[in-house]
Amino acid sequence: MTGIKYKAPGMCPVCGHSLNISRLTCTHCATKIEGEFSSCKFCQLPAEQLEFIEVFIKCRGNIKDVEKELGISYPTVRGRLDGVIQALGYKVEKADPQEESDRRQEILAALERGEITSQEAARLLKKTAK
Residue 3 confidence class, pLDDT cut points 50, 70, 90 = low
pLDDT score recorded for residue 1: 47
Q: Which CATH architecture has domain 44-129?
A: Orthogonal Bundle (1.10)
CA-angle at 76, arms to 125 and 119, nearest 5°? 50
H and E: helices and strands count for the chain: 5, 2
Q: What is the pLDDT of residue 96?
A: 66
CB atoms within 10 A of CB 95: 13
pTM for the whole structure: 0.58
Give yes or no for residue 2 having a pLDDT over 60. Answer: no
pLDDT at 110: 86
- Mean pLDDT: which of 2-11, 38-47, 68-77, 94-103 is highest? 68-77
What residue spans in the chain does CATH classification 1.10.10 cover?
A: 44-129
H helix intervals, 28-117: 47-58, 63-70, 74-87, 97-112
The model's confidence at residue 124, banded by pLDDT at 50, 70 and 90, is confident
pLDDT tens digits, one per residue of 31-56: 999 998 877 888 878 889 999 999 99
